Structure 1
Amino acid sequence: MDETAKYLIHAEITAAGVVERSDVVGAVFGQTEGLLGDELDLRDLQDSKKVGRIDVEIRSDEGTSSGEITVGSGLDKVETAILAAALETIDQVGPCSAEIVVTDIEDIRSAKRRAVVERATELLASFDADAVQSEDIVETVRQRARVEDITTYEGLPAGPRVADSDAIVVVEGRADVLQLLKYGVKNAIAVEGTDVPEAVAALTRDRTVTAFLDGDRGGDLILEELSQVGEVDFVAVAPRGRSVEDLPRGAVMAALREKIPYETVAEAESPEAVLDADGAGPESVALQPGSGEGDAAAAVAGVDADATAGATSGGHPETASDDTTTQEAVAGRDADAETATDGPTTLSDHIDATIGADTATVRLLDPELSVLAEGDAADAVSLIEGCDPAPRTVVLDDTCSQKVLDVAAQRGVEVVVATGDGEYVKQPTSVQVRTV
């Protein structure tokens, strides 16, 4: 078909005998010559490129022939229709009688227009899907920078640190891994269903494992199977009826901080039952008091991530407890504290004096919040290790490292308040960590 053709004539031919393509083409030219006048002479129209080549497909069977004829036309609709009608006047092909019937005159431009509409619709949908609004640029770049790190481990979706990290977080699906990557957790791996893969089971046997699962029946089943085929050290759960992939950053971080030793969960009806018994939920961000009931434990119960603003601006976080002692411990400097001349008397005062003042120091406190020792933050490990008596609370103007956690656990420290969390291989359950 000629590229300039606007219409395509489709016709069927039958002949009472065996004929070939050349016979049909010869009959078309021979029997239409002079029929339509000089303006519509088929040879002249082909020479001027107004009519394309005549395509013929012919088949012979049991002494008869049949096939299709296709002619491209660059003429207008009227002239094309006349040319098509002229084809039907042919009644002889070679030595055989024949009949040609025009079945359709196709508007090639209409077909092209349909193709244009379909393709344009596809392009528009793709354009809208990939379009980035100006107000979304910062967030889009931030998310892509975080999410592009997703990899695979033995064919399973995983964060980039799974292969070399001493601790892993086992989640249900790829979306959960992506969600944790957005929040900076790079050692998560997905089991992709309730059938725990052998690769994950093998991985759990030599790593510290936290199972972070959805708060539904599926999460319960995965935890049960994972405990049977592998080893689980801690359990973190989303609120009942919620999925990990739907949780905001605060809820994810709170659930991971408040993970429960698996031994405790194994003896309970469910992880939620353990949390309910402790009076805390997966979305709680308040640190629960340790075994002691002194002012230090009560004070830290109200120090959470929201305390950052108070510590840096001179204000102080407040606890919701009705207990007068707890309120005084967590609130900012009250009248008595302001008139004191022998130094800080509340945990908030100690936080202000170290972290709030950006001193790069560490302060060790006894159960009455008196200072046992103080020194450079870089020497925190040796100070905690050599302090006599052992401190109850540590206020550190630095990130809380694994070494600090280990020596704090050895010395019986109950609370560590620091500027941030380090990358822990294993966090002792006896030490509560709170960041400011």
Structure 2
Amino acid sequence: MVKYIIKAHVEVEGPVNEHDIIGAIFGQTEGLLGEQFDLRELQDKNRIGRIIVKLGPRQGNKVSGEILIPSNLDRVETALLAALIESVEKVGPYPARIRVIDIIDVRAQKIKSIIERAKEILRKWEKEKTMDVREILKEITESVRTADIIEYGPEKLPAGPDVDKSDTVIIVEGRADVLNLLRYGYTNAIALGGATTKIPETIKRLAKDKVAIAFVDGDRGGTMILKELLREADIDYVARAPPGKEVEDLTGREIARALANLMKASEVKAELEKMEQLQQSEMKELKEVLEKVSEIKKEEESKSTKPEEKEKVTTQTQIVQEVKEVPQTQSAIEVQVQQPQVEKEKLVEEKESKVTVPTEKGLSETQIQLPAEKEEKEVVEYKMVIPEEVFNKLNELTGRLEAIIYDSNWNVVKKVPTRDLVENLKEVDDVRAVVMDGVVTQRLLDVLGTKNPGTAKLVLAKRMARITHRPKGVFIILL
């Protein structure tokens, strides 16, 4: 075991290397203090270790560095050895100077390291093994609450112990939701037990006999379960987790806030039905337009005599909006398939509405001329070329509750969580489009309507809330 390390500084006024210095130390100390202190003999007997020389960068012909000599000798012998190597005055033909800087007591360093490690082990031990009284009480309380969960009804649904006793029952999705409610003292919760397509008969019976509260997640899955509950069970009130959150992850404060802001089930059901009717109406109109497009396309193909003149095209999208005397709800939408190019916004006066919808890839632009209204009205036509990759982004975002903001050149400005979309929109001046996984709201449209006045702005999404008005120049495409 090494007891000490002699640390010395060496300077040589000549171009030498490490081996030259080691050789000089052995050569010039040989026989000075007899065979007992001959360095080679000491190494053979493991009384000293291997001599290490570390040289720094050469400065002209001068080199300097550090010498390290491990020693198993006692303190007196180690001090004598240190003085011995200082007697070296030359390395080869070049003058040299060696001075001992320090003698490191390795055992003292090890003892110090052992003490520090012992302190660290003790601190960790005390932290892990010594529990605060509050932590002990909390652990006991939570274990009791977890043990309170029961299996209820013939379906063995996860439930709290007071489902039968309480006049009110909270209906949640799964076992984890019941456990979280139990953790914060809500003992009258019952879960659907994973049933999302068919509501268990036990839930229907409880909802009929008691005041039933449907407490669902704040995501698309929660909406689907809520629709099924409202359709099959006698639900009185609806509570929802904050957008993007699940009931099992809520804190006690968030649960209390959600249950304090209950909505009547009849109002929620009416709102959901309006949204479905609106979507069905839009799909019906789109289907009729597509059928007319198909008829016109067939007529155009039958008239075509030179197939080789057909040009290859890529899917683009254009949008047209009526302004001035035309009400917002009567604005026309134009979606085209045409040669890829950058379209400039232009103002066109027309006396009839024009609607163009996307056809299959590779087909030319198709338009439908709708009959002109009796009263002549001016139309402002906004043309917007939408890259196909923008539509693909909507599929990529599905289920992630994120949104992408594009500028006028279709560059991605920001990618943000849907819940922060409106606030981020306020900070961006140049906005052309928003692609989002979430519900299109009136607040979002109002903020978007203030961006890039005089140009068309697009919202591409899959769901839309109740909209009272649509700002000029703002369009919504639901896929």
With normalisation by structure 2, the TM-score equals 0.34
Structure 1-normalised TM-score? 0.37
